[in-house]
A and B are shown apart, each in its own frame.
Chain A
Amino acid sequence: MNRYVILAVLVIANVATALLVVRDRHQHRLAFFALTKLEKARDELNIEFGRLQLEQATWAESNRVDQVARARLGMVFPRTEDIVVLRR
């Protein structure tokens, strides 16, 4: 009698844990799917950021700024005599 009870308990426990394993595995897959999606989104944002930085750096390229300032905006470098020194 006692042995049957133990056996029954073990069988039930076995089935229960098997189901839990199935559930956990499913959840793991769902979580992994979500992770992959988020990582992809993160990568996309990083890539976009990198591209924007590249674009900004290209616009801000020293040579270009130099030429635009001189040619288009007509800016000149102040000569020494143009600089006023203030003493406190």
Chain B
Amino acid sequence: MKLPGLKLPGLPKPDARDKARRNGARPAGNRPRGRTPFNLRGRLTLVCGTLALCSVALLARALDLQVIDKEFYQQQGAARFLREIPIATSRGMITDRNGEPLAVSSPVESIWANPQELLKSQARLPQLADALGMDRDELQRRLSQRAGKEFVYLKRRINPDEAKAILALEIPGVASQREYRRFYPQGEAVAHVLGFTNVDDRGQEGLELAFDDWLRGTPGAKRVIRDRRGRIVENVDLVRAAQPGRDLALSIDRRIQYLAHRELRTAINETGASSGSAVVLDVATGEVLAMVNLPTFNPNAVGTSPRDAHRNRAVTDLLEPGSTMKPLTVAAGLEAGVIRNDSLFNTHPGWIPNGRYRTTDTHNYGVLDTTGVIRKSSNIGAAMIAKRLSDAQFDAFMRRLGYGKVTGSGFPGEAAGLFPTPDRWSGTTKQTMSYGYGLNATPLQIAVAYAALGNGGLLHQPSFVKGQHAPARRVLDPNIAKDVLHMMQTVTEPGGTATQAAIPGYHVAGKTGTSRKASAGGYSRRYIGYFAGLVPVDKPRFSMVVAVNDPDPSRKGYYGGLVSAPVFRNVMEGALRLMDVSPDNLDAWLAAQAEAEAKRLKASGHALPAEAAATVAAPATGAVP
């Protein structure tokens, strides 16, 4: 393009008209001028050109900002004001099988401050310290130490109402932040099963850990515009909706759990034992109705308890099952056909050799039948049965019942137990294992095996979640299971080893166990007292195992029948009532009632007590089918 001004300098042709005009403008005469002629066009052109160049530069810059580097600048701008902030979400609730809350997340507030801002308003610090319940000097010190920082917690996890009161003071630089805290209203009774969470509300132990993914919500995100001081000016967009954690209904029954906890605690206190566990299973489904351990801890203040107390002993601790193995040995013998219900065993003289060692009974029981072996808990009887079984038969049977294998309950840290394979057995191993030594099992494993006996030979994988169970596996012929159950019933009847486990109105099948604890170089004079049982015998509902570890022999003794059986009776009596299980032994109940009635009438001095007793007893006897 040709600028018009450019050709002006090349046109210095003064024509006549031009001259005349100039002369007209200067009437004072033709004065000579010494300077170069004034070039208006040239100057205008220069100014316009410069301005044009400027605007071109501006345009170019604008183009650069708006089009070429647009992305970069927009990002930078957004980074300063647009923020994606997380939407906090709460952890799901854990309830028992009846919907009673066992673990609830509740919001709490944490008060924090920006020291840089807060230190500017020194005058208000005393007021803040009072509101926080802090020492004034201490607050001052804490802020001064972090004067260069922008964030300091003043008080964590406090009641929202309290936080609101502090914020209402409107002290600059003080703000609150919502956090969630887990509360366990049932306290220590359910502590081991539930486990606990850490400061970030993540599961650390127990079912809180096992079901962390299920319980934990996914925090959402939203985009907001914030001003320079970080206040939210506008909610722009929802990036991700928060996904609150899902609730979890456990198979635990709070009432049975509490009952078991209370009774176990009483037993531990009375016997001076160091620890103990109890497990209650629903026979028909394998659901865990209660699982308690002692010592326990307060899950609402985890830090204050020793780590040792955090362990869920019922699934993590390996114990020698002792005589609780005997019914299983008998079942194995019956299944293999090497013994019959009426087989006889001569246990005279109360011991038999076992390699270099001896297998002994506490007394010389003489000749026992199969039932007698269980009723009297004869080690020799069990050893004789095992002798007739091949290694492979014994091994396969116990493995089928879940020994030496994790039960699959999904509890974190569950132990598999120790059940060596036959190639590692020595000459004495099978005989020793037949009465429960030389192998290890958790109380839960014993409860599962017993539940299979009570369930007609169908073994259920134990489960902690209500309504969630895998199909049962047949491990034993139903008839054999029933026979063994009836043999175990004699244990709690007069003449058995656990008369203290008898429950009025119900037939109880059970087995005591007293195992000496292995220690370096042999077995020590320390014991574990067991009771494992099933009620009611007619159609078992519950399978329960009680293990009392290291009772003080000088107090109440150490036999399972003395230390553990009462726990079993008290818990099962309550559980049967709570679950509305109808009695299967009404006659005994009616007889006891008649007896008590007679006693009462006698005591109150009614005429002819004998006659009164007879009339009361009459309907009872008449009711006997």
Contact = CB atoms under 8 A, between A and B. Distances in A.
Interface stretch (B230-238, B392-400, B473-481, B607-615): B230-238
Given A50-B104, A57-B101, A83-B593, A63 B235 contact: no
B258 A81 contact: no
A80 B106 CA distance: 44
Contacts of B106: 47, 50-51, 54
A81 to B, nearest CB: 3
Contacts of A35: 238
B67 interface: no
| Chain B interface main SS type | mixed
A83 to B, nearest CB: 7
Contacts of B104: 50, 53-54, 57
Contact of B186 (A33, A36, A57, A66): A57
B123 interface: no
A83 B600 CA distance: 14
Contact of B238 (A32, A63, A87): A32
Nearest to B599: A81
Contacts of B221: none
B254 interface: yes
Interface string B155-184: 000000000000000000000000000010
Interface in B231-251: 234-238
B152 interface: no
Contacts, number: 74
Interface string A47-88: 100110110011011110010000000000000110111010
| Chain A interface main SS type | helix
Given A50-B105, A85-B590, A63 B237 contact: no
Contacts of B589: 80, 83, 85
B107 interface: yes
A23 interface: no
A66 to B, nearest CB: 7
Nearest to B600: A81
B610 to A, nearest CB: 19
Contacts of B254: 62
Contacts of A80: 504-505, 589, 592-593, 596
A19 to B, nearest CB: 21
12 contacts: A50-B105, A53-B101, A57-B101, A57-B185, A62-B186, A63-B189, A63-B262, A80-B596, A81-B592, A81-B595, A83-B593, A85-B583
Which 8 A-B residue pairs are closest in the complex by CB-CB distance?
A: A81-B596, A57-B185, A62-B258, A80-B504, A57-B101, A54-B104, A58-B185, A53-B101
